[in-house]
Amino acid sequence: MTDIGDEFARVHRVSLNGQDVAYRWAGTGPDVVLIHGVASSSATWRRVGPRLAAHHRVLALDLLGHGDSAKTGGDYSLGAHASSIRDLMVALDIEFATFVGHSFGGGVAMQLAYQFPERCQRLVLVASGGLGREVSPLLRAVALPGAELVMPLVLNDRVRTTLLAAGAPLRRLGLRLDDRRSEMWENFARLSAPGARAAFVNTVREVIDLAGQRVSAREKLYLASGMPTLIVWGDRDTIVPLAHGRAAHETVPGSRLEIIEGAGHFLPLQEPERLVTLIDDFIATTEPASINALAFRAALRRAAGGEA
């Protein structure tokens, strides 16, 4: 585990389409791609990646605009991120993989499965975005005009200390700032560079507006009927409600829903051992999907009322 941990801790870089992409990579075996959430990085998986790498070859990247990857502006949509991951897989000679996405990364994982179904063997959605309208007020606030200018003023230790004293009222807004493990707050506070703040705000605005999440994969979930799908949620998630996971589970035939009691939104950091156990078992007990372009087209045509 120590050697694998050291291997996973090492950050590599590759230039794709003129932009540097940072990634971590360790282990041998069936390929697993880990996709982090907004304002985060591949470091989100630091407690999960080495454990998974004991039996799998694990790739965790920094999405463009995040972590150590390029922050040059441009397209931070789900589709653009999915294409970047596909390109990285090609560069690293990964033909197909199990995609594991946390929060915003779940939306990217679903987009990957939609755009490049032939590369997706299984889908693991961890407290995933893109499955319903509701989302934390803190993320909705980022959609406000001028949010990138206000962030440096409010995301600092002095404000955090003041807010900690507010306690329960903030928890009702979805802000568990009394929890020192509040990964969202810590991630936001690291956005000190203007380029990082702009990338974060632009990414959020691609999928969220003042009313909540505006990009949903629900209408496309029928396409996952042949895809082994695991949905994992904490029953105390105040960022994305558990109801989204339950609804997705009911929509995708044969999917598995695992609810971790007492856990919040940031399962890769709060419950890494439990998460790894679930993913390991899921991979070991399911056959990888093999979806080609013809089968995908047939599913779309059936849904449209046409002939397969």
Please report, as a single letter, which amino acid is at residue 123.
L
* CATH class name, domain 2-132+214-303: alpha beta
How many Å apart are CA 277 and CA 51, to the nearest integer? 9
Which of 102, 244, 249, 265 is labelled catalytic? 265
b vs e for 86-106, b when ≥16 Cβ sit within 10 Å of the residue's Cβ? Answer: bebbeebebebbbbbbbbbbb
Q: What is the pLDDT of residues 17-59, one digit of tens each?
A: 999 999 999 999 999 999 999 889 999 999 999 999 999 999 9
Which pTM was predicted?
0.85
Chain centre distance of CA 252? 19
Q: What is the pLDDT of residues 96-138, one digit of tens each?
A: 999 999 999 999 999 999 899 999 999 999 999 999 998 988 7
If you average pLDDT over residues 200-225, what whole number do you get? 81
Which of 69, 83, 103, 136 is labelled catalytic? 103
How many Å apart are CA 271 and CA 232, to the nearest integer? 11
Contact criterion met (CB below 8 Å) for 89 and 97 = yes
**Tell me, what's the pLDDT at 180?**
35
Q: Report which of residues 201 and 174 the model is more confident about.
A: 201
* pLDDT surpassing 70 at residue 306: no
| pLDDT bracket for residue 195 (50, 70, 90) | confident
Q: What percent of the chain has pLDDT over 90?
A: 57
Question: What SS3 state is found at 253?
Answer: coil
Contact criterion met (CB below 8 Å) for 20 and 168 = no
Strand partners, 15: 20
Question: Which DSSP string do the residues of 160-207 spell out, in sequence order?
Answer: HHHHHTT-HHHHHTT--TTSTT-HHHHHHHT--SHHHHHHHHHHHHHH
Contact criterion met (CB below 8 Å) for 97 and 119 = yes
Which of 69, 237, 244, 249 is labelled catalytic? 237
Active site includes 265?
yes
Active site includes 237?
yes
Average pLDDT, the chain: 84
How many Å apart are CA 65 and CA 41, to the nearest integer? 10
End-to-end C-alpha distance for the chain, whole angstroms: 48
